[in-house]
Structure 1
Amino acid sequence: MTASLPAQLAPSSSPFDSARLLADVGGTNARFALELAPGRFEAVQVLACGDHATFADAVRAYLATPAVQAAGPVRHAAVAIANPVDGDRIRMTNHHWQFSIEAVRREVGLDILLVVNDFYALARSLPHLSASDKVQIGGGAPRAGSPLGLLGAGTGLGVSGLIPSAGGWIALNSEGGHVTFSPASELEVAVLQYAWREFEHVSAERFLSGAGVELIYRALAHVQGLAPAPLAAPEISRRGLAGECALSAQVLDVFCGMLGTVAGNLAVTLGAQGGVYIGGGIVPRLGGRFAASSFRQRFEQKGRFVAYLAQVPTYVITAEYPAFLGVSAVLAEKLSA
């Protein structure tokens, strides 16, 4: 895999002295790659987190694969992880892994191991995305020199942003997915009331995530007096996209509307006139259904700020492994310091 990077980081640049290990760790999967030269990502593998007792076990499993062994010793690594990163100790929110960054560094034999929040890394990738790495939803045009917003639903709801500075961009370490959910329709009030039966605090992430799709499904079934089938999020999405289940289709509609409201909140909070980007594993799989949903209408639905938000573009990130661009940039800065 070779990703799009600025000219100064073009894949034609000289190879590194040693391959660099990059990883993007979510609550379900851990994605690994070797960076052999700036922007040149090879040996991409996706490992199920549940197949490995610890994060170090997953790293060792990847490093032991023939393709990685053939690349020679790996001395430096950067990891994006779906979790707050504050100090040496990592305890994942949506998975059981917990570890010391320094202990893992020593255990797997690295000189440098950097760990950053996954949406911090994804935010760092935004200026490097090519036109083919994203799809615009609705109107608007980016205003140069303005902040960018980022959010994405997957195992959880990640949130970040990029703030322009004299030296380039400053990425935000945000946990905005845990803001309190605010309904924007009577139906969403009913869905929220159902969720309160299960959770004392209902955050945006409770709905805008894989588990959230399942929660919306149960809530809508309750509102309609239906007995919900025990379906996982991927099957709900599949049935909704295929038109096989009216309830599943309604789940997707409600999900997209909720995401539009949260994205609009982020845009006005950050003043993100450079655009708001949607990442994560769920939305890109919805394809045209997302583009035709109420997402953009709800994004702009801010009363006196409708005209303001109508000018802010929204994009779905379609690049397969965009976080690698971000952790690559973070690691390059560390090594050049």
Structure 2
Amino acid sequence: MMNFPVLTGDIGGTNARFAILIDANAEPKEFPGVRTADFASLEEAIQTAVFDRTSVRPRSALLAVAGPVDGDEIALTNHGWVVRPKALIEAFGLDEVVVLNDFEAQALGVVALGSEHMEKIGGGEAEEESGRVVLGPGTGLGVAGLVHARGMWIPVPGEGGHVDMGPRSPRDFAVFPHVETIEGRISGEQMLCGRGLVNLYRAVAMADDVAPRLSTPAEITAAALSGEDAEAVEALDMFVTCLGRLAGDLALVFMARGGVYLTGGIVQKIVPALKNGRFRAAFDDKAPHSALLRAMPVHVVTHPLAALAGLAAYARTPARFGIELDGRRWGRV
């Protein structure tokens, strides 16, 4: 059991969001999110975003970090910050700091949130205590599994966003050679995140021998949804198709009869594209198990702070979740 008040934080590559949970029965007090690029360190961001705005002094911190949690210095995968729990304890007078992977927190959020925070993208009804998958294109591509065993929900973090992606259709074989690689390979994250959408757009333009006129994910998304740029339309179609393929692969890995959950700001903005049939067709196209996939529901998580909701659920009722804290909890010496 963590000591209240608990500071919760969702630390991503682009944004950091914070809340304070006064006690196990209170609603979280949320603070305006901040951009990681605006601060030299996590400590500086917490001071400005939280401690300069409230007189409440947390005794514990429960943080979700966009990167693997390994050792006393935890580097973000897509940003220069390094999270140092011992320094946080010293800087803010905390009793303890617990650090989880950001998609563990997203997985906890799937359990914590109700149907009013979900938008369904086809499939049947979820089996209540069956495996689930959480997938989130954002600054990078986050992936986690969620399994139910021994009366607990157990999140399974990993780096599934870095699996290989390959061409399948004739058009894929024309476009994929132009997708920017990392050391010669195309990973999921090279296509299925903000910069991945830009990579796809540029690759489509190069395949068509057209000069790309758009440069940001927001511009490409807007132009695709309005239909005003043919390359943007195709890039977004390819994005949702490849997202469907990967989501279906992960659904098979985890036998996700409890559903697949898409999280983050990008998917919330492209729900019309996710509903145009391409995503679901690619998700279901898993012979010889297509019937199994067709029965699995997919949901877009529409809550803007799903990870913080998941962290709050864990802080309130840790016995509900099977989270191993060895090497991920630091206390005052």
**TM-score, normalised to structure 1's length?**
0.89
1:282 equivalent in structure 2? 266
Quick one: which amino acid aligns to residue 90 of structure 2?
Answer: R
Q: RMSD in angstroms over aligned alpha carbons?
A: 2.1
Equivalent of residue 32 in structure 2, options 45, 50, 57? 45
Moved more, 126-135 or 213-222: 126-135
**TM-score, normalised to structure 2's length?**
0.90
Equivalent of residue 178 in structure 1, options 148, 162, 168? 162
Matches within 5 A, 1:25-40: 25-38=11-24, 40=27
1: CA distance, partners of 2:168 / 2:103: 26
Query: Does the Cα contact within 8 Å between 1:160 and 1:172 map onto a contact in 2?
Result: yes
Q: Deviations over 1:2-45 (max 9, x none)?
A: xxxxxxxxxxxxxx985321111111110111122436112321
1:310 equivalent in structure 2? 294
1: CA distance, partners of 2:175 / 2:314: 40
1:160 equivalent in structure 2? 144
Equivalent of residue 199 in structure 2, options 205, 215, 220? 215
Query: Does the Cα contact within 8 Å between 1:18 and 1:73 map onto a contact in 2?
Result: no
Matches within 5 A, 1:1-337: 18-38=4-24, 40-66=27-53, 68-69=54-55, 72-195=56-179, 199-332=183-316
TM-aligned CA distance change 1:267 to 1:223, over 3 Å: same
Query: Does the Cα contact within 8 Å between 1:114 and 1:331 map onto a contact in 2?
Result: no
What secondary structure, in the 3-state scheme, does the structure 2 residue paired with 1:193 have?
A: helix
TM-aligned CA distance change 1:230 to 1:135, over 3 Å: closer
2: CA distance, partners of 1:207 / 1:315: 21
What secondary structure, in the 3-state scheme, does the structure 2 residue paired with 1:145 have?
A: coil
Q: Deviations over 1:284-332 (max 9, x none)?
A: 1113232124001100001211111011111110011111122223334
Query: Does the Cα contact within 8 Å between 1:89 and 1:100 map onto a contact in 2?
Result: yes
Runs (5+) with no aligned partner, structure 1 = 1-15
2: CA distance, partners of 1:118 / 1:164: 19
Aligned length: 319
User: Whose RCO is larger (CA < 8 A, sep 6+)?
Assistant: 2
2: CA distance, partners of 1:17 / 1:97: 26
2:328 equivalent in structure 1? none
2: CA distance, partners of 1:170 / 1:197: 34
2: CA distance, partners of 1:80 / 1:100: 13
1: CA distance, partners of 2:181 / 2:57: 52
Q: CA deviation at 1:255?
A: 0.3
Query: Does the Cα contact within 8 Å between 2:180 and 2:186 map onto a contact in 1?
Result: yes
1: CA distance, partners of 2:122 / 2:316: 35
Q: Deviations over 1:43-90 (max 9, x none)?
A: 321001010001111111123333x22xx2211111111111122211
Runs (5+) with no aligned partner, structure 2 = 326-333
TM-aligned CA distance change 1:149 to 1:334, over 3 Å: closer
Query: Does the Cα contact within 8 Å between 2:240 and 2:273 map onto a contact in 1?
Result: no
Quick one: which amino acid aligns to residue 38 of structure 2?
Answer: D
1: CA distance, partners of 2:316 / 2:99: 13
2:331 equivalent in structure 1? none
Query: Does the Cα contact within 8 Å between 2:162 and 2:188 map onto a contact in 1?
Result: yes
